[in-house]
Each structure stands twice: as structure tokens, then as C-alpha cells.
Structure 1
Amino acid sequence: MILSFFDQFMSPTHLGIPLIALALSLPWVLIPTPTNRWLNNRLLTLQGWFINRFTHQLMLPINLGGHKWAVLLTALMLLLITLNLLGLLPYAFAPTTQLSLNMGLAVPLWLATVIIGMRNQPTAALGHLLPGGTPVPLIPVLIIIETISLFIRPLALGVRLTANLTAGHLLIQLIATAAFVLLPMMPAVAILTSTVLFLLTLLEVAVAMIQAYVFVLLLSLYLQENV
């Protein structure tokens, strides 16, 4: 029995072993791998088309130096989408609702973009801390504000993904609990609530995909500033 609505976000364990490692490795098992045949099946063809279109759209505004990140960002996109969608299944655990995991993805990748900028073009990277045409009295204040905003970027990445998924899961559980409680007392209201729950579930499927795309898109924008 669930004692709290937040118990669903606790990392499950079996015999004292956390199952988050299994949840993280599951997407790689579910995603089909291409074969050596000349013609693949429809699923592989659709998957290849989606990956090619996504990679092309993501790398289009980035210089050639940043195209080395194409495989990494595309793989991250597929991982986040799969984890977010699997987390919507009944009795499933979504690792992306854990802030520690999201920060573990956001901080190293953001730090890598900053290090690349400082190594390849330090003048341009430091120039982002001070907009052009700034009045002299405002220079120290703007440098402090831009530095703070730079270090807030990974926190915003992790918190955005965690908050959106956590809020959606909580709302689904609240409405599902209300529909279950109202069913014996007010069946008509329970049916209406179940309809709202179904529409909310469709919305959460869209949110799961959109938040994965936004996470990778913001990383590509940070990379674009530093290559």
C-alpha cells in the first residue's frame, strides 16, 4: 500500500540492490539495432529516419567543430525519451524523476561545453560574460550576473526535467485516486474524471518527449556558444 504520493519516486531496491541500474540499461535493450541487410524492416527504417532528421536539425546551427557531439546528443535524446515514456507505465520507475540522475547528466555535459569554449576560444567565451556596449558603471554588476547565470544553467537543466516529470506523475496519481474513490459513490463523476485522466496521460506522453528534446536542445545551444 502506498503511504505517500511521493513514495513512487523512491528508487526501488531488491535484496538491498538499487534497481536504477537496470532501469537505465533497459532502453538500450528495447531500442532495435540495425542489421547488415540491404533492406531493414519498417521499425528500423522509421527509427533511422527519425535519428537522421533529429541529428540534422540539431547540428544545423552548430559549427563543424561541434558535430563531434552528434552521436552523444542523439544517444542522450533516445535515452531520455525512452526513460520518460517507460516511467509512465503502471508499476514502472522513472529514473529521470530523480534530481541526482538529471544533475549527473547535466553538470558534466555543461562543464564539457564550458571547457571546450575556454580551450578553443577563450576570448569569445569570456566575452559572453559582458554584453557589448555596456556602460562602465554597470560592468562589474553585469559580469557577476552573467557568471551566476552561467553556473545556474546545469541546475536549470536538471530541475526542469525533474520538476516537469514529477508534477505530471503526481497529477496522474491524484486524479487516478480521485476516480477510484468516486467510482462507488458517484459513477458519472468518476467516468468524467477518468476521461480527464486519459487526456492527461496523453499530455504526459507529449511532455515526456518534449522535455527530453528541450534538455538536448539546450545542451546544443550551450555547445553552439563555445565552438
Structure 2
Amino acid sequence: MTLSFFDQFMSPTYLGVPLIAVALVFPWVLYPSPSDRWLNNRLITLQSWFINRFTQQLLLPLNPGGHKWALILMSLMIFLLSLNMLGLLPYTFTPTTQLSLNMGLAVPLWLATVIIGLRNQPTAALGHLLPEGTPVPLIPVLIIIETISLFIRPLALGVRLTANLTAGHLLIQLIATAAFVLLPMMPTVAVLTATVLFLLTLLEVAVAMIQAYVFVLLLSLYLQENV
């Protein structure tokens, strides 16, 4: 029983085809492409409004040099949001519960922000490793601490997304199993458990959206330090 709870986080295959590849490609099929017409339908208009508003909010604290990342950050936000929301449907697989996928997204993007900072403003980028006004005896220790914190950033990005989604999915499955077990014995308690499950599902929908936003927001903050 204990192992079956974690089976949902294993990458499934069907006829030899890894379904994680299908899950990664599927979100792009859901979004309609804007047409060349003067007036679009309501769905495309709402989609364009959301993308424009989020892009403005995300790029507001960034310098003009960081605005080149608008397409990457917005695409990443929609991609993570779609994967997180689709993973809440029954009989689906959530790719963002895999640490390898999240680290594969976090490490290259974080490394790109560091390389941009070292290329464009090396003095300011290296200055982040040592706060101004540090006493001389503490300089080696602070440099080591700041360097470790710099390399922990991509790990924190990937682990945060993985841990939040994994914990939410596991808790939903535990409460759902408890509701089915209690139904023949204590129907009233089972109904209360199902109510808690419904509220938890709503909370998990909010967590799925917030975690996608936090991932992109932290990445934009890392970019802000290096542009």
C-alpha cells in the first residue's frame, strides 16, 4: 500500500513510448494561435490580455536589458502552469513532480543569468559575493557563504517546485483513499472527508498556479541582479 501511493510519480510508458514526452508536448496544443484578423474571438482576446498583463508585471522591476527575456519567461510561465494544472486531472501524469525535469529547467536558465552578469558587468556580478563594509577577518568566510548560496539557487528552484506538487498530490491521494475506506463503515465521516478533499483540491489548484509564478518570479529576480 505504501509503495502504491508513490506509483503516481513514476514516469509511465505506453507501448514503449514514455508518456512524459506526450505530457510535455500536449500543453502547446491547448493554446490557440492568434490570427491575422482585426478582431479575434473571446478566448484569444482573454489569452492575449493575460499574457500582456503578466509580462508587464514581470518586467516592471527589470532594467531594459532584461526585457529581452520576456518571451522566455512568459513561455516558461505558461508551460509550467499548464503542466501543473493538467496534472490535477484524474489518470494523468505530472511531469513537474520529477526533480530531473525541474532541475533541467532551473540549472540552464540560472546559469544563463550568471553568465550574462559576468559578461556584461563582471565587477558588479562578483561584488554580490562580498557585501560592502564587511570586516576584513570575515571576508573569506562571507565569500564562501555567498558562493554556496549562489550555487544553491537552482537546487532551491527545482526542489521547491517538486516538493510542493509532490506533497499536494500525495495528500490528495491519502485523503481520497481514507474517504473510500470510511464510506461503508462511517458514511458521515466519509462525507466530511470528501468535503476536506474538495477543499484541498481547490488549494492544490492555487498551489499549482502559485508555484509556476514563483519559479518564474525568482528567475526574473536572479536576472535582475545581473542586467
Aligned positions of 1:85-124 closer than 5 A = 85-124=85-124
Q: Does 1:161 align with 2:145?
A: no
Cα distance in 2, alignment partners of residues 119 and 25 from structure 1: 34
Distance 2:2 2:54 in 1: 40
More displaced 10-residue stretch of structure 1: 41-50 or 213-222: 41-50
CA distance in 2, matches of 1:17, 1:199: 35
Task: Write out aligned runs for 1:183-194 (5 A).
Answer: 183-194=183-194
TM superposition shift of 1:43: 1.1
Alignment of 1:152 with 2:128, yes or no, is no
Identity %: 86
In 1, distance between residues paired with 2:93 and 2:55? 28
Q: TM-score, normalised by structure 2?
A: 0.98
Between the aligned partners of 1:145 and 1:173, the Cα distance in structure 2 is 40
- Aligned position for 2:178: 178
RMSD: 1.1
Following the alignment from structure 1 to structure 2, what is the Cα–Cα distance between the partners of residues 2 and 151?
Answer: 34
TM-score of the superposed pair, with normalisation by structure 1? 0.98
In 2, the alpha carbon distance for the partners of 1:34 and 1:76 equals 19
| Cross-structure match for 1:83 | 83
Q: Deviations over 1:92-140 (max 9, x none)?
A: 0000000000000000000000000000000000000000110110000
Deviation at 1:16, TM superposition (A): 2.4
Unaligned runs of 5+ in 2: none
User: Any idea what SS the aligned residue of 2:38 has?
Assistant: coil
Could you list the per-position Cα deviations for residues 70-111 of structure 1 after superposition, in whole angstroms to 9, with x for gaps in the alignment? 000000000000000000000000000000000000000000
AA of the residue aligned to 2:19: L
Residue 48 of structure 2 aligns with an amino acid whose one-letter code is G
Aligned-residue offset at 1:3: 5.1
Ranges of 4+ aligned residues in structure 1 off by more than 3 Å: none
Shift of 1:68: 0.6
**Partner of residue 14, structure 2:** 14
> Structure 2 CA distance, aligned partners of 1:2 and 1:73?
38
**Corresponding residue for residue 71 of structure 1:** 71
Q: Matched residues in 2 for 1:152 and 1:35: separation?
A: 43
Distance 2:140 2:188 in 1: 63
Measured after TM superposition, the shift of residue 2 of structure 1 is 9.2
User: How far has the Cα of 1:209 moved from its partner?
Assistant: 0.3
3-state SS of 1:4 partner = helix
Give aligned pairs, total: 227
Distance across 2 between alignment mates of 1:201 and 1:17: 30
Judged with a 3 Å threshold, the aligned counterparts in structure 2 of structure 1 residues 138 and 125 are, in CA distance, closer, same or farther, namely: same
